[in-house]
Amino acid sequence: MDIGIRPLWTPVPRVAGPAYTVRCPPGDNLMLHAAIYRAEPGSVVVVESGDVDHALAGGNVCAVAQRRGIAAFVVDGVIRDLAEVREAGFPVFARGVIPIPGTKKAIGSLGGEVRCGGALVHPGDVVVADEEGVVVVPGARRKEVLDAARAKLAKEAGESLDAWEEQHRARIDQLLTQHGFDG
């Protein structure tokens, strides 16, 4: 997702889970409030709203979501009651904070395709979020990506910084030569 979707408090734990997708019309948060009672424990609730003028959730909604086992909120919008959310330790990745609540008058959707932070997210896609940002892995590629990540971690764990530096320098020198740099 784009860099505008970021953790609202730090240090935030790394979270990962299947996406439970929500679409809220601008200015309204009814569907997110409904989602906290429908998302499975361990889910990452991903919200498309396209609105930064009205909060999608506040401290109580985040506390209930946390109590129901929801791993995190990832919202293309804003929330309120940041101090309460931070104190509870509930991970929220969003565009920011505003004290103005949204209304509960419009029906959006639950469990459909959404766009959040520029990324297309489908129900069941794997969402991984931490202090560096949010990544979405298509559900169909879950095993492939997990295997590749584990292999990379294993390689890095067995490699010293000296060995990494030697390989890195050789690769950079090779790339510079390939691109015609002779300095």
C-alpha to C-alpha distance for 138 and 141, rounded to whole angstroms: 5
The CA distance from 51 to 159, in Å, is 45
Domain boundaries, the chain: 6-137, 144-178
| For residues 3-13, average pLDDT | 97
Annotated binding site for Mg(2+): 81
Run of H or E residues at 116? strand 114-116
As given in the structure block, the two tokens for residue 77 are: 């919008």
**What does the pLDDT read at residue 155?**
87
Known binding-site residues equal 58-61, 80-81
Query: Which residues sit in the known binding site for substrate?
Result: 58-61, 80
Q: The domain 6-137 belongs to what CATH superfamily?
A: Ribonuclease E inhibitor RraA/RraA-like (3.50.30.40)
Q: What pLDDT, on a 0 to 100 scale, did the predictor assign at position 158? A: 87
Q: Which pLDDT score is estimated for 183? A: 81
What residues contact residue 89 under an 8 Å CB cut-off, 6+ apart?
A: 13, 66
Asked whether residue 50 carries a pLDDT value surpassing 90, the answer given is: no
Confidence of residue 4 (pLDDT cuts 50, 70, 90): very high
pTM (predicted TM-score): 0.91
Query: Of 173, 161, 129, 153, which Cα lies nearest the Cα of 6?
Result: 129
| Percent of the chain residues past pLDDT 70, beyond the cut | 100
